[in-house]
Structure 1
Amino acid sequence: MEHKQDENVFWLKNCKVTVEGGLTAYMTLSETLLQEQNFPQLTYNGLVEYLRHNGVTFGIDMVSCQQICMNPRGYIGFKQKVATGKAPINGDNAVIDILLEDTQHVPRELEDGRVDFFDLGVVRTVHKGQILAKKKTPTEGVQGVGVNGAPIMAKPGRDYRLPQGKNTVISEDGLMLLADRDGHVSYTPRDVKIHVFDVFEVNSDIDFSVGNIDFLGNVRIRGNVLPGFRIVAAGDIEIAGNVENAVLEAGGDIIIRGGVQARGKGLIKAGGTVRARFMQGAVVESGVDVIVRDSIMHCNISAGRNIMMEAQKAVIVGGLVRAGEEVRTRTLGSPMATPTEVEVGVHPHLRNEMQELHQKMKDLQQNMDKTKKALALLDNMAGIGNQLPPDKAALRQNLTATYQHYMSEEEELMFRRSEIEAILLDTRRAKVYCLDILYGGVKLTLGQQVAYLRDTRTGPVVYGIADGELTTSVVY
């Protein structure tokens, strides 16, 4: 008992405990002990009890404390660590993973090693429902314990919002950002938002700094389209300037505020209407109308419905223009009798479809003949008893089903052919209007009727078909 009291007095008189940051405890023996000759017997339990009295109850370093007790003189005047707490582990911040390809705007390398300088990949197309970004949620962290035994709270991770912009939605679980429609995706880290646009705009010319465009929505170009470039849009295409020998393909309308100078190259193809100020050497295919203000010169134009000229001095000269119903212009041909062909009532897309139907029916008939011969061969093998090995019986069953499918397909093709033939024979709306002057050198085709104009004629005049004959009448 007396020994324990001596030890307690020793620690109280000569030892100082300090705690730093709540996680580390140090003990320092007083330098006055250098003058002492004899120390009481020091024990590990006695030192631990002293530390507890000084508020140090967790993470006590057994080895360090035992060394101090065994050789206290070696630690006089020195700061010795005697306990270490458990540091808290702070939570991880939320992580936003952007699932968009980096756009380097560099020419695309082809499979054969060549480089396509017209394709820079400026359009990043996404589809509705496509995942644009994912979020990994923040964690709460793990709390620590101080040397005094008290808990030390961990700092929870910081949450971040998904970069939701225009035409994007967040999934029900809040962990994914999805495209709300088809379109062009735009993301700039500074804006910290992902947008999906149904209109892709270019505020310059389409040149080698922009490259080709292939987009699911509408495309708007505020400059010109230079030669050799290609713009494909599922919606409309609008060009503020001129178009040279480029390729424009739209599921909707194509509007060219300037004109087209194509020199017989390139293609302008629209499911809807094509509009332009003028066209020269252009190849145009329109599902509905072609509307031009000033002139159509040496072009190859097909319109599903009408070709309309709007200006007071509008002219069609040279080349070939086809329309399903009407061609309307002020002047047709030229004083030099430039060969100019006009066809109406021809429905170019239906004639193309008819050609495709003929080819399909030809291929189908060949397949039906092969199948029929194979079935006849199997029937001969079956003989009077109509017995075949299992594999041959299964083959005959499959061939029979195939032949029935071919017959059904043939019936559908024949029905569609009859529908197209009825439309092509209906030429009541086939009209050519020439309001000012019609020059010689013009070839008119209305349905099956053809007329070659050798002399100049002044308008207004309209050509049509009545009772299967070509008619001419004056328009007042």
Structure 2
Amino acid sequence: MEGIGKYRLEVKVTADKLEAGILLRVDEEDLDALLLREEDIYKELHKQRVTFGILDNVVKDLCALPRKYANAQATIAVGIQPVPGKDGFIEYPYLETVKDEEGPKELEDGRVDYYNVTAIPNVAKGQLLARRIPADQGKPGTAVTGEPIAPKAGKEAIIKPGKNVVHNAERTMIYAAIDGQVSFTDQDKMNVFPVFEVNGDVDFGVGNIDFVGTVVIRGNVLNGFRVKASGDIRVLGSVEGAELHADGSIEIKSGIVAQDKGSIVAGQNIRTSFIQNANVTAGNQVIVSQSIMFSSVRAGKQIICKGAKGIIIGGVLQAGEKIAARVFGNTSATPTVLEVGVKPELRQELVQIQKELQIVYENLRKTDQGLNVMNQILQTSGELPADKRMLQIKLTNTRLVLEKECKTLEARKKDVEAELKGDSPAAIEASHVMYPGIKMTFGKLVHFIKHEYARTRFVVMDGEVTTATLI
């Protein structure tokens, strides 16, 4: 570099092009005689295509105080970070009316009705249920080389219509096609089901219930009875050793005392105050406000027991993502098994889909081979014999069926892969204390708790169970 004194300027741009550094290489004996000119610095920057976000104060400082910057890299230009887009989401306007209706109601004579405190989210035919809000594309940034940096676009929300609903032409809104109750079923599909209400207990006077819709029970479900619903099940009382099965969610206000009888199964969520000696399975979440005692509880994603008591003692709990409670175990070291991080049903489904896709691909290949033969005969002779024409029609129809099956399988494969890929690290969280006697399983990794832990989160890092203190 020309000028007074011997020196060399090196400009380096970071890989993301959001920052440029400058390094003044100079020998100690040349420092006192060194004279840097601003134009030389700008010339070197432009030579390296750094044209944006140049820090003029650093350029001036470098010229005035070269000793300060000698043989040490300094930031000379800073770009503008792109602003990532916000994810799209689904609004549910019908829920606003439900919120307004919750809580005890005052009767005409001034008394308060404490028996009907649960609002059933009933909707009317034609009512707007869901509205898709599009993702934001974000704001571009600018590199130090002057180039625009594309932002990461937000992820679009998917609106999934189920039964008894209709969507608009743009598929951005869902409306109720009948009067009934909203229920979410497999893969978060939104449905409206008719509602069947029981104004007391499910006992010998009512019998077992199997309803294509949502069931609301304003009393208890007694030992030995069965309630099945294609929508949700709402129980304002308690559930004993009964069988409840809902494709949607199950809410039990007073709790479950099963005495190791019956089972509670929901395609989506199960919410209750306590679970005791019960067998409970939810496709998504199990949310308990008080306690889970000596029960078998499974959840596709999370088991949460973090109310004022929030205690889990005994039994076996399995969740795909997380098990969280205020207290695990007791001072007597009661054996309790916690298993997280495994979604066997999803992985098994993915293997099955891949096998089915291979069969479909092979059948498509054979079908296309047959159609190609028909086309060659047609091009050679100008027409097809009657039997070959029938075969061509049959092969064409077969191909349409296979294409439709292929698209369905590929779409489901993409959903399953996204769900498995999007898994956050499986965790077990004790927000107050975890006592000895707990057996943890993270996939195939087993860890035993031999002393007390306070406010601790357990996760697997680099093949080992590690802990972090919860704030």
Normalising by structure 2, report the TM-score: 0.50
Distance 1:407 1:296, change over 3 A: same
Other-structure match for 2:234: 237
Which letter maps to 1:332?
G
Which letter maps to 1:325?
K
The alignment partner of 1:263 has SS state of coil
Distance 1:314 1:239, change over 3 A: same
2:278 maps to which of 273, 281, 294:
281
Which letter maps to 2:206?
V
| Match runs of 1:212-227 below 5 Å | 212-213=208-209, 214=211, 216-227=213-224
Q: Does 2:323 align with 1:330?
A: no
Which letter maps to 1:430?
A
Which letter maps to 1:456?
H
Other-structure match for 2:390: 391
Normalising by structure 1, report the TM-score: 0.50
2:362 maps to which of 361, 364, 369:
369
Other-structure match for 1:316: 313
1:210 maps to which of 206, 209, 228:
206
Indicate if the aligned counterparts of 1:260 and 1:276 stay in contact, CA closer than 8 A: no
Indicate if the aligned counterparts of 2:270 and 2:282 stay in contact, CA closer than 8 A: no
Cα offsets for 1:353-385 (capped at 9, x unmatched): 443343233223213323423443564577675
Distance 1:180 1:326, change over 3 A: closer
Other-structure match for 2:418: 419
CA distance in 2, matches of 1:374, 1:295: 56
CA distance in 2, matches of 1:464, 1:211: 46
Q: Deviation at 1:449? A: 6.6
Other-structure match for 2:265: 268
CA distance in 1, matches of 2:258, 2:315: 14
Q: Deviation at 1:323? A: 4.8
Q: Deviation at 1:463? A: 0.9
The alignment partner of 1:459 has SS state of strand
Q: Which runs of 5+ in 2 are unaligned?
A: 1-123, 127-176, 182-192
Other-structure match for 2:91: none
CA distance in 2, matches of 1:438, 1:357: 38
Q: Deviation at 1:180? A: 7.0
Distance 1:376 1:256, change over 3 A: same
The alignment partner of 2:360 has SS state of helix
Other-structure match for 2:66: none
Distance 1:199 1:462, change over 3 A: same
2:448 maps to which of 437, 450, 453:
453
CA distance in 2, matches of 1:269, 1:260: 17
CA distance in 1, matches of 2:331, 2:355: 44
CA distance in 2, matches of 1:455, 1:287: 31
CA distance in 2, matches of 1:323, 1:406: 29
The alignment partner of 1:394 has SS state of helix
Q: Deviation at 1:255? A: 1.9
Q: Does 2:339 align with 1:343?
A: yes
Identity of aligned residues (%): 17
CA distance in 2, matches of 1:306, 1:457: 21
Distance 1:298 1:201, change over 3 A: closer
Q: Which runs of 5+ in 1 are unaligned?
A: 1-126, 130-178, 184-195
CA distance in 2, matches of 1:250, 1:397: 38
The alignment partner of 2:415 has SS state of helix
Q: Deviation at 1:432? A: 2.4
Which letter maps to 2:225?
G
Q: Deviation at 1:305? A: 3.2
Indicate if the aligned counterparts of 1:443 and 1:453 stay in contact, CA closer than 8 A: yes
CA distance in 2, matches of 1:375, 1:475: 60
CA distance in 2, matches of 1:408, 1:444: 37
CA distance in 2, matches of 1:250, 1:409: 22
Distance 1:294 1:413, change over 3 A: closer
Cα offsets for 1:203-241 (capped at 9, x unmatched): 2x3122101222634503323432232242624412313
1:255 maps to which of 229, 252, 256:
252
| Match runs of 1:78-157 below 5 Å | none
Which letter maps to 1:207?
D
Q: Does 2:468 align with 1:473?
A: yes
CA distance in 2, matches of 1:270, 1:396: 39
Other-structure match for 1:355: 348
CA distance in 2, matches of 1:375, 1:273: 49
Other-structure match for 2:179: 181
Indicate if the aligned counterparts of 1:241 and 1:258 stay in contact, CA closer than 8 A: yes
Cα offsets for 1:116-162 (capped at 9, x unmatched): xxxxxxxxxxx979xxxxxxxxxxxxxxxxxxxxxxxxxxxxxxxxx
Indicate if the aligned counterparts of 2:318 and 2:339 stay in contact, CA closer than 8 A: yes
Indicate if the aligned counterparts of 2:302 and 2:319 stay in contact, CA closer than 8 A: no
The alignment partner of 1:439 has SS state of coil
Q: Deviation at 1:302? A: 1.4
Q: Deviation at 1:439? A: 2.0
Distance 1:264 1:292, change over 3 A: farther
Task: State the Cα RMSD in Å.
Answer: 3.7
Q: Deviation at 1:456? A: 3.4
